[in-house]
């Protein structure tokens, strides 16, 4: 698993908490990781560990290579030493715990991003990785659409004009084509949502268009419906011009992708086998592969 781009989570660096065991293998203390990932209660964190152990087994890897029970001495207020439950965790185990943690915790969200960016594409099949990327982009674009609608309202766009406002962005990006005209050109049924048939590249272009429009409306202090609509179309055109300059495919020429619902179904029915390289697969055993 890749180890580049160390990140800081909750003010501490994950890589700095790494230790080395008697086999020369890197490991992390679960008790230390608990704090790093925003868990105040060991019971809650241990539940995430148990889910991670199940995920490890389901992924075709050996949990014993990545999760080792251990004791950790804790000094109390009067100097009394108590040994509490702990685990020694491989890097892969830490990754699985992050994936099985509470996503509402910002520390978990940061950890998920840290590990996922580095490892997910190399661990999953190319098709599944592409599916996951597209699904995530579709979700992000949907959220950005809602945020842009809120920004448009603040900029003076009336509710009954939201359709015109959003169509202006499409027209700027798609060379004068609005939502319905784009679907007609691409042969997408009128009842389907256009973004459900966009591939990752097209989704990313539209997300960028919406993000930049929202920022510009706020930055310029737009408070006029006509100006807001014009701003959206102009930003869309600027994004289109950027695509032209770098030699990219213009969005209206990108073929329609498989419906996003089919992608969701495929992801739900696919159990990924996480194939680790030899060093990571042995986890806490390091080079001592023959140890029981």
Helical axes 200-219 vs 162-173, angle rounded to 10°: 120
Question: Is residue 214 located within the same domain as residue 118?
Answer: no
Residues present in the chain in total:
292
Question: Is residue 100 located within the same domain as residue 194?
Answer: no
Question: Is residue 156 located within the same domain as residue 250?
Answer: yes
Domain assignment present for residue 56? The answer is yes
CB 201 within 8 A of CB 193: no
* Average pLDDT over every residue of 65-70: 86
Question: Is residue 93 located within the same domain as residue 158?
Answer: no
Q: What are the helix (H) ranges across 59-199?
A: 91-99, 106-123, 126-154, 162-173, 179-186
Question: Is residue 107 located within the same domain as residue 208?
Answer: no
Residue 6 exposed, middle or buried by CB count within 10 Å (0-12, 13-18, 19+): exposed
Domain assignment present for residue 100? The answer is yes
Q: What is the pLDDT of residue 75?
A: 55
Which band of pLDDT confidence, cut at 50, 70 and 90, is reported for residue 21? confident
Domain assignment present for residue 90? The answer is yes
Bridge partners of residue 89, in order along the sequence: 28, 67
Question: Is residue 63 located within the same domain as residue 161?
Answer: no
Task: Indicate if the pLDDT at residue 67 is higher than 50.
Answer: yes
Number of domains in the chain: 2
Lowest mean pLDDT among 40-44, 98-102, 286-290: 286-290
Task: Indicate if the pLDDT at residue 239 is higher than 50.
Answer: yes
Q: What is the pLDDT of residue 6?
A: 42
Question: Is residue 150 located within the same domain as residue 261?
Answer: yes
Question: Is residue 72 located within the same domain as residue 133?
Answer: no
Domain assignment present for residue 290? The answer is no
Domain assignment present for residue 96? The answer is yes
Q: What is the pLDDT of residue 3?
A: 45
Mean pLDDT over all residues of the chain? 85
Q: What is the pLDDT of residue 117?
A: 55
Question: Is residue 144 located within the same domain as residue 258?
Answer: yes
Condensed to tens digits (0 to 9), the pLDDT of residues 124-168 reads 566 777 888 899 999 999 999 999 999 999 999 999 999 999 999
Domain assignment present for residue 279? The answer is yes
Domain assignment present for residue 111? The answer is yes
Question: Is residue 143 located within the same domain as residue 241?
Answer: yes
Domain assignment present for residue 3? The answer is no
Range of the domain at 200: 128-268
Question: Is residue 134 located within the same domain as residue 238?
Answer: yes
Question: Is residue 157 located within the same domain as residue 227?
Answer: yes
């Amino acid at each position: 698993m890749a180890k580049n781009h160390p990140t800081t989570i909750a003010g501490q660096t994950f890589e700095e908490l790494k230790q080395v065991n008697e086999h020369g293998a890197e490991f992390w203390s679960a008790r230390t990781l608990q704090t790093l990932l925003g868990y105040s209660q060991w019971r809650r964190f241990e539940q995430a560990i148990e889910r991670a152990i199940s995920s490890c087994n389901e992924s075709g890897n050996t949990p014993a290579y990545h999760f080792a029970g251990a004791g950790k001495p804790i000094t109390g207020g009067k100097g009394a030493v108590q040994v509490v439950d702990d685990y020694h965790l491989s890097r892969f185990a830490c990754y699985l715990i992050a994936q099985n943690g509470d996503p509402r915790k910002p520390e978990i969200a940061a950890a998920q991003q840290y590990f996922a960016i580095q490892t997910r594409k190399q661990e999953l099949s190319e098709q599944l990785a592409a599916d996951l990327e597209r699904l995530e982009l579709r979700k992000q674009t949907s959220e950005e659409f809602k945020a842009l609608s809120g920004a448009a309202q603040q900029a003076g766009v009336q509710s009954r004009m939201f359709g015109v406002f959003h169509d202006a962005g499409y027209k700027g990006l798609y060379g004068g084509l609005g939502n319905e005209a784009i679907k007609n050109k691409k042969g997408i049924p009128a009842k389907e949502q256009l973004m459900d048939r966009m591939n990752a590249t097209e989704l990313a272009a539209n997300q960028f268009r919406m993000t930049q429009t929202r920022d510009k409306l706020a930055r310029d202090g737009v408070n006029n419906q006509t100006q807001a609509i014009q701003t959206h179309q102009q930003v869309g055109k600027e994004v289109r011009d950027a695509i032209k300059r770098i030699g990219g495919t213009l969005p209206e020429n990108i073929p329609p992708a498989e419906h996003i619902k089919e992608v969701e179904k495929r992801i739900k029915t696919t159990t990924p086998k996480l194939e680790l390289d030899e060093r990571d697969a042995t986890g806490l055993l390091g080079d001592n592969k023959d140890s029981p």
